[in-house]
A and B are shown apart, each in its own frame.
Chain A
Amino acid sequence: MKNTFTLIFLLFIKNYIFSQLTLGLESNSQWYIDDDKIILSEEDAEDRLRTNSYLKADYSIGNFDFTTQLEIYESKSLLNYSPDLNGIDLGIVQAKYQNNKRNLEITAGHFYEQFGSGLTLRFWEDRQIGINNALLGGRLKYSPVEGINTTFLSGKQRIGMGFDLSESTLYGVDVETNLSTLSSWNDTDLSLGFSYVGKYENLEKEYDLLPKMVNLFSGRINFSKGNFYSGAEYVYKSKDALVEYGIINQESQNTGNALLLNFGYSKKGLGTDITLRRLENMNVYSETGLGGNIYNTGVINYLPALTKQYDYALQNIYIYQAQSNLSFDPLQKAGEIGGQIDLFYKIKKGSAIGGKYGIDIALNGSYWAGLNGEFDILDRSYDTDFLDFGEKYYQDIGLEIKKKWSKKWSSIFSYLNQFYNKKYIEETIGEVKTNIAVAETTYKINRKKSIRMDLQHLWSDSDTKNWMGGTVELNFNPNFSIYAHDIYNYGNDDDLKQIHYYNFGSNFTKGSTRVGVQYGRQRGGLLCVGGVCRIVSEASALTLNISTRF
């Protein structure tokens, strides 16, 4: 009897555990190999083989979900990741209780969250740029009636490995009301939102002039009717200390604000969108002293550059980054103002120009400038006017045309014109104007085999001048491909810098498992993912990426 009982009990447990357990593994390793042109610094060269690995487990029992993530950075984290990511440790430990009948969700442990568009608060993970700013604490989500959602949270932010936490404590409240759900309108959608984020930080005695609380308040509205939609959000940030070169200046305290406007119209075959934004002194970090750090450690809110994220290597040499911070040295900057516009249009199938398959056209442009104002460098104080455009930081105009010629052939043509104010964006010198053209074509050899090629050229009279590049990709079947890619800075005035950044590699996919091997050179500069950038240095390496889920 006892044995039978044990057996059944084990069966029971097995069912509970195994049927609901999922695992995800990602491992990225690089072995840095010097070649004749690219040589690592002595310090970096001490650890030539490095791995970033993440093993995540999720399991659920009834209304409970548990998540944990183990992170391994050995012998060190990959080049240019924060040195705080080091060794083996838990990254995430989370327990979540969900009661759908009561519209209630309670989370304890590490969690990710975003309020509105993220201007006040965003906790997220992006492994490619080494961001994991999860909050360790508690969160309650409750929906008293359909159409009203509330979130309350508090905790300390992860600023290194899972249990390396910020000194400060964060508090947040978000309320979102969907008025159209409440009043059951049909073709009209109206929603309102309100967010509060507070940071309590008790710094050492020498900083007793600083406010202990920094508060962010935000209100937002979204309205859409038929094919038209629009949105607006305003954020006010209470007084925060100026941080320059990592040094807190408690004599200079300034408020900040953000305004985001969005309008769009779209129907079948046509879509257009305009986004306008003004940011003034909007950076917030969970520790004041982290202000402006290059690893994005301790960021609380999300201030991405609102420009198109381009697809090709040469289009990603001069990437704009949102200029949201306040600084007096070396340059006077208080924020940015500008906007972007997008247009998507499909020339119909069967029309004279569209041909059998139609043509996809995408047009985009953006313009960003600094805030004009009066800066008192000695006093570290400033004054700006609301709609006064200052120094031009960035501008781009892009056109992309996609055309399918036949069942087997398709092509993409892309043109981009950029103005990049290197002096202000990178705080170095110079202005760069570029013209970039890309042509890509794919040919389907048979049902599952194809070849893809692209050619790219960048024209510029300044900075590193002309570049050219290209890719050849052979896809034997959906599971196996090889590629070769090269960009070449042939126009560089310095002969030693006329370098080929070549890469060869192969990808193998089987179901959930993906293995990629690559050998080649990485161009130094900004690597940006989702509007957040980190600086990467030149390196020559053999790379192995493995990911799987089960």
Chain B
Amino acid sequence: MEKKIVVILLTLISCFLFSQNKLPSISLQNLNGEKVAINSLDSNKNPIILSFWATWCMPCIKELSTINDVYEDWQDETNVELIAISVDDSRTLKRVKPMVNGKSWEYEVLLDQNQELKRAFNVITVPHTFIIYKNEIIYNHSGYTPGTEEELYDTLIKHTR
């Protein structure tokens, strides 16, 4: 009987531990050269948007520029944080920092130079945007056309209210 209880307890613990959508244990550099561990991103209280993009991807830049115009409002309303994951490789990598600054984007930018995180998320094409909340992917969308940001916003509002 005792054994049974132990097993049930273990099962429950395993459910608790493993039913969460674990973020990949990959570390990427930010624009200041600091390493950021993806699985240390905390989405328990506030949602996180992970947006995969590249300097050579026109729709990506349109998406991030559009969100940048309303980012302050989104943050006030939902406490969301957008993390822009650049998949630029060393051909265009050096363009990331001046472009982000040149466009006055407010986002935390991480560099996925050899597309490790892109592969871990099974991202095939950029842009591909994920909303992560309470450790779960609650929304994701590939591609950008004007209006995609409205869907993102609607999803954020729905889940945080």
Interface residues of A (CB under 8 A from B): 1, 4-5, 8-9, 11-12, 15-16, 19-20, 22-24, 26, 56, 58, 60, 65, 98, 100, 112-114, 117-118, 122, 124-125, 178, 180-181, 189, 191, 222, 224, 229, 262, 264, 266-273, 275, 302, 304-306, 308-309, 311, 342-346, 357, 360, 362, 402, 442, 444, 447-450, 452, 475, 477-478, 481, 507, 509, 511-512, 514, 530-531, 547, 549
Contact = CB atoms under 8 A, between A and B. Distances in A.
B113 A60 contact: no
26 contacts: A1-B4, A4-B4, A8-B8, A15-B15, A24-B124, A117-B90, A118-B90, A189-B32, A224-B33, A271-B98, A271-B99, A271-B101, A273-B94, A273-B97, A306-B91, A308-B92, A311-B56, A344-B98, A344-B102, A345-B102, A448-B146, A448-B151, A478-B150, A514-B125, A531-B89, A549-B122
B48 interface: no
Nearest to A473: B145
Interface in B127-161: 139-148, 150-151
A222 B29 CA distance: 13
Contacts of B102: 266, 269-271, 343-346, 360, 362
B141 A509 contact: yes
A12 B7 CA distance: 9
A271 B121 CA distance: 30
Contact of A444 (B55, B119, B147): B147
A371 B56 CA distance: 29
Contacts of A442: 62, 146
A58 B89 CA distance: 23
Contacts of A531: 89, 91
Contacts of B99: 271, 342, 344, 362
Contacts of A509: 141-143
A224 B101 CA distance: 15
A357 B146 contact: no
Nearest to B114: A114
Contacts of B92: 308-309, 530
- Chain A CB within 10 Å, residue with most, of B8, B10, B142: B142
A100 B27 CA distance: 11
A213 B45 CA distance: 55
Nearest to B137: A512
A533 B24 CA distance: 31
A224 B20 CA distance: 39
A346 B94 contact: no
B38 interface: no
A469 B10 CA distance: 64
B52 to A, nearest CB: 12
B77 interface: no
A26 B104 CA distance: 35
B134 to A, nearest CB: 15
